[in-house]
Chains A and B, each alone.
Chain A
Amino acid sequence: MGVRDPHSVFDFLANPERFMAFSRWAAPLLGLLAIALAAGGLTLGLTAPGDYQQSDTVQIMFIHVPAAWLGLFAYLCLGISSFLALVFRHVLADAAAKAAAPLGAAFTALALITGSLWGRPMWGAWWVWGDARLTSVLILFLFYLGYMALRGAIEDETKAGRAAAILALVGLINLPIVHYSVVWWNSLHQGASTFGAEPQNRLPAVYLIPLLLMGLCYMAAFGSLWLVRIRAEVWRRRARALALRASGA
């Protein structure tokens, strides 16, 4: 068993006081960054020419794809935080996991809804049951709902956190399934067109640049909201501890 480096980012932020001091300036900074990136991404995206196949519906891509990326990324954050909370019994990691779940659920819901709004004019269907990408993303959404429901259903917060963390770790298996679903199965959903895409499938710069700007915008927005929600959870636990102390429990 090695000794952990006390100067690592994890150990630095694992201290609640240091986290509160860091997040106090980092959260608004990320929020401002998200606004600036949204301005740039939407300006370029909404003035981009229509695609020869998708016409103007290509503009939905600029909000659908980043929402899908963040649905997956937030679950990865939820899984890593749950692992740290479960193995190291770290209170801040548990707060981080709890704070990530509603954000990830919202981004995944956005990906499903905006995807459906794109699918209706392009595929002629709001939803295609049996399509591997659509179904695996729906399962991702259900894992988020299950995580939040389980946390809310158990009265003892420590037990609730552990049970939900185990569920979150089980759900991690769905992430590669979502990512590779378009490779492993025949899917109506198009394959990769950004990172790791075949040269002939790669998006042209006129779409790729606004898409990446919007992806960074969603990432910054998630970071900002996540930090504020963790702060709220830290305060909630402090308030509970103060109330218990005051009542002599």
Chain B
Amino acid sequence: MTLLTEGGRYAPYILAAFAVSAVVFAGLIADTLLRARHWRREVERLTRRDSGPAA
């Protein structure tokens, strides 16, 4: 692994490419999971309200 052990001359480009990929993946995963959780909870809340004591 010459990149990490010898600090190759192309290291900034390689590290930047991996860092950008990691950030984009983290953003996609976070956005996807938060979106799913938000709408699942919203359905649960509305279902509870519909089947509440007043129903």
Interface residues, chain A, CB within 8 Å of chain B? 46-47, 50, 55-57, 59-60, 63-64, 67, 102-103, 106, 109-110, 113-114, 117-118, 120-121, 221, 225, 228-229, 231-233, 235-236, 238-239, 242-243, 245-246
| A–B Cβ pairs within 8 angstroms, 8 of them | A50-B2, A57-B14, A110-B24, A117-B20, A236-B42, A238-B39, A239-B46, A245-B50
Secondary structure at the B interface, as helix, strand, loop or mixed, is helix
* Segment 4-55 of B: residues with Cβ below 8 Å from A: 4, 8-11, 13-14, 16-18, 20-21, 24-25, 27-29, 31-33, 35-36, 38-40, 42-43, 46-47, 49-50
Which of A63, A235, A246 has a CB less than 8 Å from the CB of B18? A63
What residue in chain A is nearest B19 (Cβ atoms)?
A117
Q: In the complex the two chains form, what is the Cα distance from A84 to B40 in whole Å? A: 26
Is there contact, CB below 8 Å, between A231 and B8? no
Central interface residue in B16, B32, B40, B47, by most chain A CB within 10 Å: B32
Interface residues, chain B, CB within 8 Å of chain A? 1-4, 8-11, 13-14, 16-18, 20-21, 24-25, 27-29, 31-33, 35-36, 38-40, 42-43, 46-47, 49-50
